Amino acid sequence: MKKIICPLLSIFLLLFFSCSEKNKIAVIEESSKQQSELLEAYCKVDSLRQQGRVEEETYKAFIEKALDFYRVFPEESITPQMLWSAGMASMTYAKYVKDYVSNKTDVLNYARKGIEIFDIIQKVYPDYENAKDTYFNRGVIYDDILNDYENAKYEFTEYMTKYPDSTSALQEYIQYLGATPDEIFQNFDHAD
């Protein structure tokens, strides 16, 4: 019986480890393919950004590719940077739609998507170089895009609490959340 079990066990182990290696290679190949597609989409968005242009399908495709890549390959070294860029693209797209297209559904969807992406960065990649700015960017989304001044103030206050060395101009900014230009100028007139 031992003569039969040992060879069978050897064959099983050989097949198991050989399949395991094939799976690793397949994962690496898939990661490389998706990274390439993601970087191509990023380059398109970055080129548009540099030109001061927004193209709906290009921005949406990049944002979705970045989120899909994060869901499948959260440990890849480019994931936090691509998420950061997708968060910025979401913020840019939401602001563009608000200012030029007036599609409230897209404004809300992409503003929320930007907030979601910045939340992911803050929670999953707290050591990422731009992680501290997630509070600030969420504050900007709440203030400038959603006109939700209470949440904007909360995000900016969190930023100032956690990063007091970066806050001098932000303290002034918070004071004027939701104010019209006339109200801001009125305050400056009374300061004299």
Q: How far, in Å, CA of 170 to CA of 69, rounded?
A: 33
Helix residue ranges, H only, the chain: 2-51, 56-72, 79-96, 104-124, 133-140, 149-162, 168-175, 181-191
Per residue in 17-75, pLDDT (tens digit) is: 454 556 656 656 777 888 889 889 999 998 988 888 888 899 999 999 999 999 999 99
Mean pLDDT, the chain, as a whole number? 81
CA distances (Å), origin 159, targets 19, 96, 145, 170, 190: 48, 25, 19, 9, 29
Number of domains into which the chain is organized: 1
- pLDDT confidence tier of residue 189, bands split at 50, 70 and 90: very low
Q: How far, in Å, CA of 58 to CA of 177, rounded?
A: 32
Q: What percentage of the chain reaches a pLDDT higher than 90?
A: 43
What confidence score (pLDDT) does residue 190 get? 46
State the residue range of the domain holding 80: 2-191
Q: For the domain that residue 134 is a member of, what is the CATH number? A: 1.25.40.10
Token pair for 134: 């997630």
Largest CA distance in the chain: 99
Q: What is the pTM of this model?
A: 0.77
**173 pLDDT exceeds 80?**
no
If one counts every other C-beta atom within 10 angstroms of the C-beta of residue 144, the result is 16
- pLDDT confidence tier of residue 169, bands split at 50, 70 and 90: low
CA distances (Å), origin 112, targets 36, 72, 117, 179: 27, 21, 9, 23
Q: Give, in degrees to the nearest 5, the angle at Cα 69 between 67 and 73.
A: 125
